[in-house]
């Protein structure tokens, strides 16, 4: 039977909703929706009002029999992507994600320098925390993802500067591209 109490929306968790960390043997990757993240995870600040968009895609190859009927569809080329627009344009953590960890420096006075180049970005762990209807929580963990695209960056008087980014997930050691943990309201 349908249950309207199971219909929900994802809102950002107060105090931070998107985090990133450098992959490594000492990184504790979350395995539930509520355990506090370690200090390895850096807050990426506000995301635009459009929120976070997930795209799952599978290409298929159809096998046809002599008469032309499809008798088998083989799934291949699975892709797991997440998109969002990070709008804290002077957040050092955001800038390091967009331009590369080594491309951004901050001096003792807090002045930021970005030395952009064609150097690629590393795979990292990303966590997206959401509040659900009636006090439930959802945590999405991208254990092995990287930013593969940055949308055009507009610097104008009527819009906030932001970085529209696409994260592509690669399989982790268990072959999984992401994990979702949901804790209903108590």
pLDDT of residue 114: 96
pLDDT of residue 155: 92
Judge whether 54 and 13 are in contact, CB under 8 Å.
Answer: no
Q: Could you tell me the CA-to-CA distances from 51 to 3, 26, 84, 99, 170 in Å, in that order? A: 25, 30, 6, 22, 22
pLDDT of residue 47: 94
In whole angstroms, give the CA distance from residue 53 to residue 182: 18
Q: Which helix (H) or strand (E) holds 92?
A: helix 92-99
Question: Per residue in 152-173, is it b (16+ CB within 10 Å) or e — as a string?
Answer: eeeeeeeeeebbbbbbbbeebe
pLDDT of residue 59: 84
Copy the structure tokens of residue 158.
């009527």
In whole angstroms, give the CA distance from residue 138 to residue 14: 13
In whole angstroms, give the CA distance from residue 57 to residue 72: 18
Closest CA to 51 of 83, 79, 19: 83
pLDDT of residue 77: 83
pLDDT averages per 10-residue partition of the chain, 186 residues: 78 82 95 96 94 88 92 88 96 96 95 90 95 90 96 92 96 96 87
Closest CA to 92 of 72, 107, 71, 79: 107
Q: Considering the entire predicted model, what is its pTM?
A: 0.88
């Amino acid at each position: 039977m349908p249950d309207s109490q199971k219909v929900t929306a994802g809102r950002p968790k107060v105090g931070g909703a998107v985090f990133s960390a450098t992959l490594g043997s000492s990184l504790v990757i979350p395995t539930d929706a509520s355990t506090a993240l370690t200090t390895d995870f850096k807050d990426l600040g506000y995301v635009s009002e459009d929120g976070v968009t997930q795209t799952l895609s599978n290409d298929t190859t159809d096998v046809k029999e002599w008469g032309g009927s499809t008798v088998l569809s083989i799934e291949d080329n699975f892709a797991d992507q997440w998109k969002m627009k990070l709008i804290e344009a002077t957040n050092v953590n955001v800038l390091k994600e967009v331009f590369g960890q080594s491309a951004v420096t901050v001096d003792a006075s807090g002045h930021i320098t970005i030395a952009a180049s064609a150097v690629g970005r590393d795979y990292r762990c990303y966590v997206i925390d959401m509040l659900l209807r009636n006090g439930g929580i959802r945590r999405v963990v991208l254990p092995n993802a990287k930013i593969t695209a940055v949308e055009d960056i507009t610097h104008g008087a009527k819009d906030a500067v932001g970085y529209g980014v696409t994260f592509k997930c690669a399989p982790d050691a268990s072959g999984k591209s992401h994990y979702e943990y949901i804790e209903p309201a108590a």
